[in-house]
C-alpha cells in the first residue's frame, strides 16, 4: 500500500490538533529489510502510525535482517547502552509492526519530555502467522472498484495507559484486508480482535466505562451549529486529509442517522483503546472528533451536506465502525424514488450482506446483527421469502470460503417473514 510515492498533502487543521501528539515525539526509527525506503514512504509510514503530519520529526531508517518488535526492542536497547539515544529511551518507546509492500516494517516511536513511561513489555515469540495472504472474491474495493481482496494476519499491539507513568500492553494477531489490485488497506481488523484484547486490558486495569452519551451530546451540539458546505468545499477538506489519513471514501450519513452513527464511532474508538476525546469545529465549518490512544491520534471529520445529511471521513477503522454504508457518490438523489426493481434490491442486499458477513459476521453477541436483520426485512417486504432465499443462495456462494458463514445468515434471519433459521 505504500508502493507509490504519492505526494502527501499536509492537513493544516490536523497539525493544530495533533501538535501535542507529535510534539511529544523525540525520535522515530523505522526498521526495514531490503532497500532503504524513499523519504516520502518513510514519512507516510510514520504519519500512518502517528496519525499526524511529521514535518519536524527526527525519523531514521534502520536496515535489519528481520524487522520484528523483538529485534526493534533489542536495537533500542543497544542504542541506549551506546549512548546514541536517551538512557531511558526504551521506557518511552512504543512499537508497531506493519506489513507493507516494502515488506515487514516496525515503527518505533520514542516519546520525549514528560515523565518516563514504564511499559509492561516483555519480548515474546510472535504468534505463528501465515506468510501468504488469502484471496477472496466478492468484496468491492471502495477506491478502485476491484472485486477481489486479500486478507492477511499480522501481529499488532494493544497498549493501555494505567496512569501517566505506567502502561500495560498485549501483542495479538489481527486480520487485515487489502484490495488485491491497488493494495489499499480496506479493513484493519476483519474479526474484531482489537476490541476483544482491549476489553481484557481495560478490565484488568479497572478502567472506568467511557461516558459515551456525554460525548455524543457534545458532538451533536457542534454539528447542529455548522452550516452546510457545497460539494467542492467538502471535497476540498476531504482532499486535505485523504492521503495522510488513508481515508476510504466520503461516507454519507442521512440526518436522521447521525446520532446513531456518532455513537457507533465513539463506542468503536473507545472499545479499541481510546482514552481521550476532543471535539471542535474547524474554521471551515467542519467538525473534527479527535480520539487519543497510546498508539496514536485517531481523527474523524464530519461535514454537513446541502440536504441536511452529513459526510464522515477518517482513518480506516472509522469505516468499520460505521458498517457498510454507501459512499456519498452513490447516495440516492432527493426526489428520485419508486423506480427500484426487485433485482436492484437483491443486488444491493447481496453486496451489503457479503461485505457485512466478511467484515463482522451476521450475528452479534446478543442475537442477529441489526443491519443483517434489517436487510432481511427489506428483502421480505420487496419480494417475500423467495427473494430472501435468492439472496441467501447468492451470498452463500460468495462466502463459501468461510465455513459456517451461510448458516450464520440462516440463524440471523430466523423469524423474519416466513424464514425459519
Tell me the closest approach of the beta carbon of residue 248 to Zn ion, in angstroms: 10
Q: How many residues in total does the chain contain?
A: 421
Q: Between 79 and 238, whose beta carbon lies closer to Zn ion?
A: 238
Stretch that binds Zn ion, among 10-18, 173-181, 287-295, 377-385 (CB under 5 A): 173-181
Task: Based on the shown chain and the rule CB under 5 A, indicate whether residue 1 belongs to the binding site for Zn ion.
Answer: no
In the complex with Zn ion, which residue's Cβ is closer, 142 or 357? Answer: 142
Q: Using the rule CB under 5 A, give the single segment among 74-82, 83-91, 143-151, 256-264 that binds Zn ion.
A: 143-151
Residue number with CB closer to Zn ion (249 or 352)? 249
Decide if residue 143 touches Zn ion (CB under 5 A). Answer: yes
Task: Give the separation between CA 388 and CA 350, rounded to whole angstroms.
Answer: 10
- Of 182 and 196, nearer to Zn ion (C-beta) is 182
In the complex, minimum distance from the CB of residue 150 to Zn ion, in angstroms, rounded to a whole number: 11
Q: What separation in angstroms does the CA of 287 have from each of 148, 172, 221, 277, 312?
A: 34, 33, 10, 13, 10
The answer to whether 324 and 371 have CB atoms below 8 angstroms apart is yes
Please, which residues have CB within 8 angstroms of residue 65's CB and are 6 or more apart in sequence? 33, 71
Using CA atoms, how far apart are residues 242 and 321, in angstroms rounded to an integer? 18
> Does residue 140 interact with Zn ion by CB under 5 A?
no
| CB of 185 vs Zn ion, minimal distance in Å | 10
Round to whole Å and give the CA distance between 269 and 264. 9
Which residues, including other chains, have CB under 8 Å from residue 352's CB and lie 6 or more apart?
Answer: 324, 371, 375
Nearer to Zn ion among residue 86 and residue 133 (C-beta): 133
In the complex, minimum distance from the CB of residue 140 to Zn ion, in angstroms, rounded to a whole number: 9
Site for Zn ion in 144-163 (CB under 5 A): 144, 146
Sequence-separated (6 or more) residues with CB below 8 Å from residue 252: 305, 309, 310, 311, 325, 326, 327, 328, 331
101 makes contact with Zn ion (CB under 5 A):
no
Interacting stretch for Zn ion, rule CB under 5 A, among 7-15, 35-43, 140-148, 188-196?
140-148
> Per the structure block, which three cell numbers stand in for 292?
487519543
The enclosing H or E element of 389 equals helix 370-398
Stretch that binds Zn ion, among 177-185, 201-209, 218-226, 235-243 (CB under 5 A): 177-185
Helix and strand element counts for the chain (H, E): 11, 16
Q: Closer CB to Zn ion, residue 134 or residue 144?
A: 144
- Nearest distance, CB of residue 294 and Zn ion, angstroms: 31
Q: Of 168-176, 180-188, 217-225, 395-403, which segment contacts Zn ion by CB under 5 A?
A: 180-188
Give whichever of 62 and 147 is closer to Zn ion, judged by the CB atom: 147
Nearer residue to Zn ion within complex by CB, 64 or 182: 182
Interface residue with Zn ion among 1, 179, 195, 219 (CB under 5 A) is 179
Question: Do the Cβ atoms of 350 and 395 come closer than 8 Å?
Answer: yes
Q: Which stretch binds Zn ion (CB under 5 A): 11-19, 160-168, 174-182, 330-338?
A: 174-182
Number of residues that bind Zn ion (CB under 5 A): 8
Residue number with CB closer to Zn ion (179 or 349) = 179
The answer to whether 182 contacts Zn ion (rule: CB under 5 A) is yes
Distance separating alpha carbons of residues 263 and 56, to the nearest angstrom: 35
Q: How far is the CB of 181 from Zn ion (least distance, A)?
A: 5
Interaction between residue 220 and Zn ion (CB under 5 A): no
Is residue 141 part of the contact set for Zn ion (CB under 5 A)? yes
Q: How far is the CB of 253 from Zn ion (least distance, A)?
A: 23
> Which segment (182-190, 245-253, 363-371, 387-395) binds Zn ion by CB under 5 A?
182-190
Residue (64 or 143) nearer to Zn ion, CB = 143
10 Å Cβ neighbour count for 365?
4
Angle 109-320-159 (CA atoms, 0-180°, nearest 5)? 30
Write out the three cell numbers for 139: 468484496
Specify which residues 253 forms β-bridges with: 310
Q: Would you call 72 helix, strand, or coil by DSSP?
A: helix
Q: CB–CB of 408/357 below 8 Å?
A: yes
DSSP 249: -
Report d(CA 16, CA 14) in Å as an integer: 5
Contacts with Zn ion, residue ranges (CB under 5 A): 141, 143-144, 146, 179, 181-182, 184
Amino acid at each position: 500500500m505504500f508502493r507509490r510515492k504519492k505526494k502527501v498533502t499536509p492537513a493544516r487543521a490536523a497539525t493544530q490538533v495533533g501538535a501535542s501528539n507529535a510534539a511529544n515525539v523525540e525520535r522515530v526509527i523505522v526498521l526495514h529489510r531490503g532497500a532503504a525506503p524513499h523519504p516520502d514512504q518513510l514519512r507516510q509510514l510514520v504519519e500512518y502510525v502517528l496519525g499526524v503530519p511529521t514535518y519536524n520529526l527526527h525519523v531514521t531508517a534502520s536496515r535489519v535482517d528481520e524487522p520484528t518488535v523483538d529485534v526493534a526492542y533489542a536495537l533500542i536497547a543497544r542504542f541506549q547502552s551506546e549512548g546514541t539515544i536517551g538512557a531511558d529511551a526504551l521506557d518511552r518507546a512504543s512499537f508497531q509492526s506493519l506489513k507493507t509492500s516494502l515488506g515487514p516494517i516496525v515503527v518505533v516511536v520514542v516519546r520525549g519530555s514528560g515523565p518516563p513511561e514504564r511499559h509492561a513489555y516483555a519480548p515474546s515469540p510472535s504468534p505463528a502467522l501465515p506468510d501468504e495472504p488469502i484471496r477472496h472474491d466478492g468484496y468491492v474495493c471502495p477506491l478502485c472498484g476491484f472485486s477481489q481482496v486479500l486478507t492477511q494476519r499480522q501481529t499488532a499491539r494493544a497498549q493501555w495507559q494505567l496512569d501517566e507513568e505506567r502502561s500495560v500492553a498485549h501483542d495479538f494477531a489481527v486480520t487485515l484486508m487489502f484490495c488485491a489490485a491497488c493494495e489499499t488497506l480496506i479493513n484493519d481488523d476483519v474479526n474484531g480482535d482489537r476490541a476483544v484484547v482491549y476489553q481484557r486490558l481495560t478490565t484488568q486495569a479497572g478502567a472506568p466505562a467511557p461516558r459515551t452519551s456525554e460525548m455524543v451530546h457534545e458532538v451533536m451540539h457542534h454539528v447542529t451549529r455548522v452550516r452546510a458546505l457545497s460539494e467542492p468545499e467538502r471535497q476540498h477538506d476531504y482532499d486535505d486529509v485523504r492521503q495522510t489519513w488513508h481515508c476510504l471514501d466520503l461516507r454519507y450519513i442521512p440526518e436522521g442517522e447521525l446520532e446513531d452513527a456518532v455513537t457507533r464511532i465513539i463506542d468503536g474508538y473507545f472499545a479499541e483503546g481510546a482514552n481521550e476525546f476532543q471535539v471542535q469545529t474547524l474554521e471551515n465549518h467542519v467538525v473534527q472528533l479527535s480520539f487519543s490512544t497510546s498508539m496514536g491520534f485517531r481523527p474523524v471529520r464530519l461535514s454537513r451536506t446541502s440536504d441536511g445529511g452529513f459526510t464522515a471521513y477518517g482513518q480506516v477503522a472509522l469505516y468499520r465502525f460505521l458498517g457498510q454504508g454507501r459512499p456519498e457518490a452513490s447516495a440516492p438523489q432527493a426526489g428520485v424514488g419508486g423506480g427500484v426493481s426487485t433485482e436492484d434490491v437483491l443486488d444491493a442486499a447481496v453486496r451489503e450482506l457479503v461485505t457485512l458477513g466478511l467484515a463482522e459476521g451476521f450475528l452479534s453477541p446478543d442475537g442477529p446483527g441489526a443491519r443483517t436483520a434489517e436487510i432481511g426485512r427489506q428483502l421480505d417486504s420487496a419480494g417475500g421469502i423467495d427473494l430472501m432465499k435468492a439472496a441467501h443462495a447468492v451470498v452463500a456462494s460468495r462466502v463459501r470460503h468461510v465455513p459456517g458463514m451461510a448458516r450464520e445468515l440462516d440463524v440471523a434471519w430466523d423469524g423474519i417473514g416466513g424464514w425459519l433459521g
